[in-house]
A and B are shown apart, each in its own frame.
Chain A
Amino acid sequence: MRLEEAEIEAALAAVSSGWLTMGPRIQALEAAAAERLGVRHALAVSSGTAALHLACVAAGLGEGSIAVVSSLAGPEAAFAPRSSGAEAVAADLEAVLEPVADLLGAVTPATRVVIVSHPTGVAADAAGLRRACDTQGIVLIEDATDALGATLPDGRAAGSAGHLGCFSLADGRLGGVGEGGIVVTGDDALAARVKSLRSHAMTSVTWDRHRGHADSYDIVDIGFNFRMDEPRAALAMARLERVGALVEARRAAAQTIRAAAPADVTPAWPDALPAGAAPQAVALVAPDEARRDALARALTACGVAARSWPRMLHGSTPVAAEARARTVLVDLGAIEAAGLDARTVAHALRAA
Chain B
Amino acid sequence: MTVASGTSPSLPLFDLRVLPEDIAAVAAVYRDGRLGMGERVEAFEAAFAQQLGCRHAVALSSCTGALHLAYLAAGVGPGDEVIVPSMTFAATANAVIYCGATPVFADAIGTHDLSIDPDHVETLIGPRTKAIAAVHFGGYAAPVERLAALCERHGLELIEDAAHAPSARLGDRKLGTFGFAGAFSFFSNKVLPCGEGGLLATDDDGAAAYAREYRSPAAGGLNYRMDEPRAALLLSRLRRLEDDIAQRRALVRRYRRGLALLDGVIVPYRDEDVELSSCYVMPILLEDEGRQSPVRRAMRERHAIQTSLLYPAVHEFTAYRERFPGISLPRTERLARTEVTLPLFPHMTETEQDRVLAALEDALAS
Contacts and interface: CB of A to CB of B under 8 A. Distances in A.
Chain B associates with chain A: yes
A46 interface: yes
B64 interface: yes
Given A15-B233, A21-B196, A201 B319 contact: yes
A301 interface: no
Interface in A29-50: 46-50
Interface residues of A, number: 64
Contacts of B297: 215
A275 to B, nearest CB: 30
Contacts of A17: 1, 18
B229 A1 contact: no
Interface in A167-220: 170-172, 176-179, 200-202, 206, 209-213, 215-220
Given A16-B18, A18-B18, A225-B65, A78 B221 contact: yes
Interface of A: 1-3, 7-8, 11-12, 15-21, 46-50, 53, 74-76, 78-80, 82-83, 170-172, 176-179, 200-202, 206, 209-213, 215-225, 227-232, 235, 310, 337
Contact of B220 (A79, A176, A211): A79
Given A1-B34, A18-B17, A210-B8, A231 B318 contact: no
Contact of A46 (B12, B23, B61, B194): B61
A258 B274 CA distance: 65
B365 interface: no
Interface string B220-231: 111101111110
A92 B181 CA distance: 42
Contacts of B188: 19-21, 206, 229
Nearest to A200: B90
Nearest to A181: B223
B42 to A, nearest CB: 15
10 smallest CB-CB distances across A and B, nearest first, come from A79-B221, A18-B1, A171-B36, A178-B227, A229-B195, A178-B35, A20-B195, A49-B223, A219-B317, A225-B64
B312 interface: yes
Given A201-B319, A219-B318, A227 B196 contact: yes
A11 B189 contact: no
Contacts of A7: 30
Contacts of B300: 212
A12 B61 contact: no
B16 A75 contact: no
Contact of B221 (A12, A83, A212): A83
A219 B61 contact: no
Contacts of B229: 11, 178, 231-232
